[in-house]
């Protein structure tokens, strides 16, 4: 178990390092000098050289990467070239907003999606199952930013039920809740459909397995068969999917943060890209990558905790 954990963490570190290296290579390989792009066409060569030095771009590529990792170990993600603030402060200042948004969205999707999927599986081919099925597909297929636009249009602009922009007043819990409803809905809607379908499919599969037949053959009440014997197995794939889904969640969060002008890591990335602020882009992408690695590792651990077969093969 400990061996597995160490292996997973080592792999995660390798993936993050590889990702950073790839990004550096990309910056280096694509035509155009980031410093020149940042400063605009009328910048003097001296200015550009100065900016290159500030961004660390005057060093050879391997040195740049090494320097970046060296700073990383000290918790330093570099400096924002425009405001001269540490990137780490900026990123970690924005991160809680995004995390709250993602957790609210996924929590809300789980609370609705999983029971819906179970219900559909157990009442297969009934009207409700079919309606849920079609609605789930519809939910999955509508992109998050379209949902965001419509909820903004309907609930914020037209009906004026919820605020349209921002994350709410610091320290005012209810205001923050009011501000998170629409963005979380925008992200979570497709996940409701996704989880409902996933749980339905895996529930149907589990209900067809031999051990469920055994449980029924021993006369266990259907309630016990479903909730104790089948459900635990049926949610296993959900854990993996949510773990891997961190990437999609972050992408969706980016759109909703922009649409609702909400602070967060997605908005930070977008804003720094429009201002060509590379250190901030770099830092935010790195943090997102780390988030992804953490969430997949966590989901594997939860799976191992839920499934003794995985646990003992570790």
**Measured from the CB of residue 91, what is the shortest distance to other proteins in angstroms?**
12
Instruction: Give yes or no for residue 128 binding other proteins (CB under 8 A).
Output: no
Quick check: 266 binds other proteins (CB under 8 A)? yes
Q: Does 153 bind other proteins (CB under 8 A)?
A: yes
Decide if residue 166 touches other proteins (CB under 8 A). Answer: no
- Residues of this chain, 95-124, that bind other proteins according to CB under 8 A: none
Tell me how far apart the alpha carbons of residues 186 and 252 are, in angstroms, rounded to a whole number: 8
Q: Is 40 in the site for other proteins (CB under 8 A)?
A: no
Smallest separation (angstroms) from other proteins to the CB of 143: 4
Of the CA atoms within 13 Å of residue 114, those in its CB half-sphere come to 18
- Under rule CB under 8 A, residue 141 binds other proteins: yes
Secondary structure of residue 79 in the 3-state scheme: strand
Q: Is 243 in the site for other proteins (CB under 8 A)?
A: no
Nearer to other proteins, 9 or 22 (CB): 22
Coil, helix or strand for 86? strand
Residue 114: CB minimum distance to other proteins, A: 15
Place of tokens 């890209």: 273
Give whichever of 79 and 239 is closer to other proteins, judged by the CB atom.
Answer: 239
Check binding of 73 to other proteins (CB under 8 A): no
Residue of 217, 222, 220 whose CA lies nearest to 122: 222
Residue 72 binds other proteins, judged by CB under 8 A: no
Residues 78-97 that bind other proteins (CB under 8 A): none
CB of 247 to other proteins, least distance (A): 5
Say if residues 91 and 77 touch (Cβ distance below 8 Å): yes
Q: How far is the CB of 110 from other proteins (least distance, A)?
A: 16
149 near other proteins, judged by CB under 8 A? yes
Query: Does 195 engage in binding with other proteins (CB under 8 A)?
Result: no
Cβ(197)–Cβ(133) below 8 Å: yes
Considering only residues 199-238, where is the footprint of other proteins by CB under 8 A?
A: 201-202, 209-211, 213-222, 224, 228-229, 232-233, 237
Q: Which of 167, 234 has the CB closer to other proteins?
A: 234
Residue 86 phi, psi dihedral angles, 5° rounding: -65, 135
Q: Does 5 sit near other proteins (CB under 8 A)?
A: no
Distance of CA 311 to the CA centre of its chain: 26
248 binds other proteins (CB under 8 A): yes
49 interacts with other proteins by CB under 8 A: no
* Interaction between residue 169 and other proteins (CB under 8 A): no
220 φψ region: left (φ > 0), alpha (ψ -120 to 50), beta (else): beta
Residue 89 or 222: the one with the smaller Cβ distance to other proteins is: 222
Binding other proteins (rule: CB under 8 A), the pick from 259, 280, 301, 304 is 259
Q: Is 255 in the site for other proteins (CB under 8 A)?
A: yes
* Distance in Å, CB of 255 to other proteins, minimum: 6
Question: What are the beta bridge partners of residue 225?
Answer: none
Q: How far apart are CA 88 and CA 94, in angstroms?
A: 10
**Residue 309, interface with other proteins (CB under 8 A)?**
yes
For 65, 134, 139, 202, 224, the CA distances from 129, given in Å and listed in that order, are 53, 9, 15, 15, 22
In the chain, which ranges are continuous DSSP H helix? 2-29, 34-39, 45-55, 61-73, 87-122, 127-141, 144-151, 173-207, 210-217, 222-224, 231-234, 236-244, 246-259, 265-274, 278-306, 308-313
């Amino acid at each position: 178990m400990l061996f597995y954990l160490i292996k997973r963490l080592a792999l995660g570190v390798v993936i993050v390092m590889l990702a950073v290296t790839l990004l550096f290579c990309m910056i280096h390989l694509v035509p155009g000098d980031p410093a020149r792009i940042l400063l605009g066409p009328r910048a003097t060569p001296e200015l550009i050289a100065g900016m290159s030095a500030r961004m660390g771009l005057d060093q050879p590529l391997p040195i740049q990467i090494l320097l970046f990792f060296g700073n990383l170990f000290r918790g330093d993600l570099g400096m924002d070239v425009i405001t001269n603030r540490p990137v780490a402060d900026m990123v970690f200042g924005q991160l809680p907003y995004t995390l709250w948004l993602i957790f609210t969205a996924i929590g809300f999707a789980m609370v609705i999606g999983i029971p819906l999927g179970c219900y559909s599986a157990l009442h297969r081919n009934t009207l409700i199952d079919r309606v849920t099925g079609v609605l789930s597909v519809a939910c999955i297929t509508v992109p998050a930013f379209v949902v965001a636009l419509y909820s903004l249009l309907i609930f914020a602009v037209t009906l004026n039920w919820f605020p349209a922009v921002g994350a709410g007043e610091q320290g005012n819990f209810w205001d923050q809740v009011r501000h998170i409803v629409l963005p979380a809905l925008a992200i979570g809607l497709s996940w409701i459909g996704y989880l409902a379908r996933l749980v339905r499919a895996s529930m149907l599969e589990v209900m067809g397995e031999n051990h469920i037949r055994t449980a029924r053959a021993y006369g266990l009440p259907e309630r016990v068969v479903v909730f104790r014997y089948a459900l635990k197995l049926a949610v296993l794939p959900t854990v993996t999917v949510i773990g891997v889904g961190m990437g999609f969640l972050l992408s969706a969060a980016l759109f909703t943060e922009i649409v609702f002008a909400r602070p967060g890591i997605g908005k930070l990335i977008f804003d720094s890209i429009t201002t060509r602020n590379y250190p901030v882009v770099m830092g935010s992408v790195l943090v997102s990558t780390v988030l992804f690695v953490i969430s997949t590792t966590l989901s594997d651990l939860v799976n191992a905790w839920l499934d003794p077969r995985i646990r003992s093969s570790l």
